Amino acid sequence: MRLIVNTTLILVAVFALGASALSADITLNDTAEAKYQYVKLGDLAGVSGVSEEEAAKINGIFCGSAPGPGEVREITVDYIKMRLRQSGFDPKSFKFAGAEAVRLKTVLIGDLPVSAEVAGDEETQDVEPAGKPAPAPSAATFGEKMKAAILSNVAQKLAVKAEDVVVVIRSIGKALEDCDTSAEIVGLRPTREIKGPGDMSFSVTAKSGDGEIRAIVNAEVTLNTDVVVAVQDISAGKALSGMMLAVRRMSISANSADYFTSPSSLEGFKATKNIAAGQPVTAAVIEQPLLVKRNDVVKVFVRVVGTDVVIETTARAEKDGRKGEFINVTNVNSKETFSAQVIGQGQVQVIVGE
């Protein structure tokens, strides 16, 4: 019996359901145990308020790979909403209850079966009668091999754990479409430098039979990571404080350099746009506060490289400045104008000898 092992097939299977109006309840479990390599939404939560057929489709939505033995993966409501959206559903049609995040761990030590069979009672498939040997894991499909190769490549490029990377194959070049289980990936390289998660393209070379074939494969890559989010609505122009922020594990699809991991590092920053509760705080919606304003009299620290010499004087700022920026200042006494770096509230420095 065929196994559900390819994310693309799962997405296609549920896509048609997204066009219809649904009103369903999804109740997240506090914890869950991975029984298969590929985790489905039904392993993490209960679905109610829809027909059995619709519930089966929702339960079958792919939600990433099982964590390694002894490790725990946290799957948040936001991540599940993203998966629903990618599968053709409107997350607004669902009412979420239960835990805010599911703590997923792996029960078995060693290789897990890839997935449950499409039909049959999953609860009875996991336990074999005493004395009967467990079936050998099914051979990986070509799609699985390709996704595993992409996942490994991305994890290495971004220096993250493989279990924190989620790969969804979007399209496969025609030359590779007919590859079967016997085909092997012998080469894979990104078509452009990988700087963060998002849409990616790879040149994939496979050995099939006696020859090699090559084609472009497009994939969407998301990264599960800890980021700073707003715990309340923050209006544009408001200064950020620790009470407004928290760290949550989320799935991101933009450059991770645009996100922050420590609420304290954003203390005093100002929101440039409205930030909704639960929304990640990114570089695009905040700016550093002005530490120096034009015409302010600021304290100047002149430091000499290689010595402990520090000379203090005062100067008048010729423009506004944020931390790390260089601005022109004019010495109050000598009227000499020079460039200095903003280092704190009303403070700049000049380093001599660099």
Q: How far apart are alpha carbons 187 and 210 in whole angstroms?
A: 16
Residue 33 identity (one-letter amino acid): E
Q: 74 pairs with which residues across the strands?
A: 103
- DSSP class of residue 151 equals H
Structure tokens at 181: 């289980």
Per-residue pLDDT of the chain (354 residues), as tens digits, is 333 333 333 333 333 333 344 568 899 898 888 777 677 888 899 888 888 888 888 888 877 777 766 677 788 888 888 778 767 788 888 888 888 888 888 765 444 555 553 323 333 333 334 444 544 444 578 888 888 889 888 988 888 888 888 999 999 999 898 888 888 888 999 999 888 888 999 999 998 887 899 999 999 999 888 889 999 999 998 888 888 999 998 888 877 677 888 888 887 788 999 999 888 988 888 888 888 999 999 999 998 888 888 889 999 999 999 888 899 999 988 899 999 999 888 999 998 876
Do the Cβ atoms of 44 and 28 come closer than 8 Å? yes
φ, ψ (nearest 5 deg) of residue 9: -65, -40
**Residue 108: per-residue pLDDT:** 54
Tokens representing residue 312 in the block = 């203090």
Question: H-type helices in the chain, by residue range?
Answer: 7-15, 52-59, 77-86, 122-125, 142-158
Distance CA 66, CA 48 (A): 24
Instruction: Report whether 194 contacts 112 (CB < 8 A).
Output: no
pLDDT score for 3? 35
User: What would you report as the CA-atom Rg of the chain, rounded to the nearest whole angstrom?
Assistant: 27
Quote the pLDDT of residue 77.
86
Dihedral sign of CA atoms 291, 294, 300, 304 in order = positive
Pull the structure tokens for residue 250. 């989320």
Q: Which domains does the chain have, with CATH numbers?
A: 1-138 (2.60.480.10), 224-287 (3.90.1210.10), 290-352 (2.30.30.760)
- CA proximity to 184, closest of 147, 155, 218, 146: 146
How distant, in Å, are the alpha carbons of 139, 180, 187, 260 from that of 184? 12, 9, 9, 39
Helix (H) / strand (E) containing 134: none
Q: How many CB atoms lie within 10 A of CB 339?
A: 11
DSSP per-residue letters across 178-223:
T--TT-EEEEEEESS---SSEEEEEEEEEEETTEEEEEEEEEEEEE
The per-residue pLDDT for 330 is 94
**Amino acid letter for position 19:** A
Q: What pLDDT, on the 0 to 100 scale, is given for residue 205?
A: 92
Where residue 281 falls (left for φ over 0; alpha for ψ -120 to 50; beta otherwise) is: beta
Q: What are phi and psi of 94, to 5 degrees?
A: -115, 140
In angstroms, the first-to-last Cα distance of the chain is 71
Three-state SS for 91? helix
Torsion of CA 108, 41, 276, 195, to 10 degrees: 60
Say which amino acid occupies 247.
Answer: V
Which residues, at least 6 apart from 20, have a Cβ–Cβ distance to it below 8 Å? none
pTM of the model: 0.47
